[in-house]
Amino acid sequence: MHFPGSGREPHTKLKNNEIDTEMRKLAVVAFGGNALLRSGQKGTYREQIENVENTCESLCALLKRNYNIVIGHGNGPQVGNVMLQHEAGKLTGVEAMPMDFCVAETQGSIAYLIEMGLRNVMARNDIQRDVVTLVTQVAVNKLDPMFQNPTKPVGPYYTKEQAEEFARETGAKYKEDPKGNGWRKVVASPKPVRINNIKIVEKLAKAGNIVVTVGGGGIPVVEESDYVRGVEAVIDKDLASALCAVEIGADEFYILTDVPKVYINFRKENEQALDTITVAQAKQYLDEGQFAEGSMAPKVRAAIMFVEHGGKECIITEAGQLGNPDCGTRIVR
């Protein structure tokens, strides 16, 4: 991965007693899937905007403490819905778009909801900040071993016969769902190598703007000499947000999920909430299999990556806990 220096620019002269935005703490906040869609919901426009506003209301706790903020977000349910729409379009002769295009589409639509939610919430709380979205490409290595073994399920379920037919037609890979729901397309989940326009993200954020970026982990692209192309892949949104936090020199990295803390022995009689743990302890718990893949394990890995590459601490918590300065599980050096 690429980890440049801070690139910190000298402070500009203040005007009319304005707050020196470069002196504020800088935080990257990764919105979990439940920030937009709760369990049991259908994913309607109204449901999503209400959920986003609730999450943004919690974010005001950081804004009121004069944080500069960059927001990353997931897009799993939304990109699945987009793929369903594209599948339906095939019946009328409209070609389905590739995965990178679907990620770009959901980056824009989700960021629109976040921008609108933030503006509504800030108006109610008398907070004046500009909100800007960057539809963001994230470069991956074309030789990443994940391309040889795609495991990330995306899109709708099919029968075995349908999956075999689509595989023959497109060359895509399909695997059976372990819960017996059918067969789904699987794509690679490579590591992010570089975030395009990251210096612009840093400059905008340190000027006091709220920046929405690396949505859905970023649009996956491969760069070959002077040529860029999108690839069929999904980048983990927490890992992409962690890379963003490292590259802009963030002080703190928040991963928002649906539980207030990280637990070991989760949902067992000896369940234990974790308050503050070191990177070494986090690695030990990962090795013990304490955190489920596809759930808490990727979040803990993203936290480790941030702290190991210069971050002060990563906080994993529920959005509603942000008003508490001691919230969540904190991963430190």
Tell me how far apart the alpha carbons of residues 64 and 67 are, in angstroms, rounded to a whole number: 7
Q: What is the set of active-site residues? A: 33-34, 152, 237, 299
Comparison of pLDDT for 323 and 145, the residue scoring more: 145
Summary mean pLDDT of the chain = 89
Calculate mean pLDDT across residues 235-244: 96
Rounded Cα–Cα distance for residues 327 and 152 (Å): 31
What one-character DSSP code corresponds to residue 328? S
Query: Average pLDDT, stretch 114-124?
Result: 95
Residue 140's nearest CA partner among 228, 221, 78 is 221
State the pLDDT at residue 10.
39
Task: Please say whether the beta carbons of 49 and 116 come within 8 A.
Answer: yes
Does pLDDT of 69 surpass 60?
yes
Q: pLDDT tens-digit profile of 153-207? A: 888 889 999 999 989 988 889 999 988 899 999 999 999 999 999 999 999 999 9
The tens digit of pLDDT for each residue in 270-327 reads 999 999 999 999 999 999 999 998 889 999 999 999 999 999 999 999 988 988 888 9
In DSSP notation, 151-208 reads -EEEEEEE-HHHHHHHHHHH--EEEE-TTSS-EEEEEB-PPEEEETTHHHHHHHHHTT
Dist CA 235 CA 190 (whole Å): 6
Say what angle helices 99-124 and 45-63 make with each other, to 10 degrees: 60
Predicted structure pTM score: 0.88
Query: pLDDT at position 1, please?
Result: 60
H runs (alpha helix) in the chain: 45-63, 76-90, 99-124, 160-170, 198-206, 237-247, 279-287, 296-308
Specify the CATH number for 21-147+192-332; select among 3.30.1360.40, 3.60.70.12, 3.40.605.10, 3.40.1160.10.
3.40.1160.10
Summarised one tens digit per residue, pLDDT across range 132-143 is 999 999 999 999
The whole-number pLDDT of residue 91 equals: 67
Q: Where in the chain is the domain with CATH 3.40.1160.10?
A: 21-147+192-332
Q: Which amino acid is at 215?
A: G
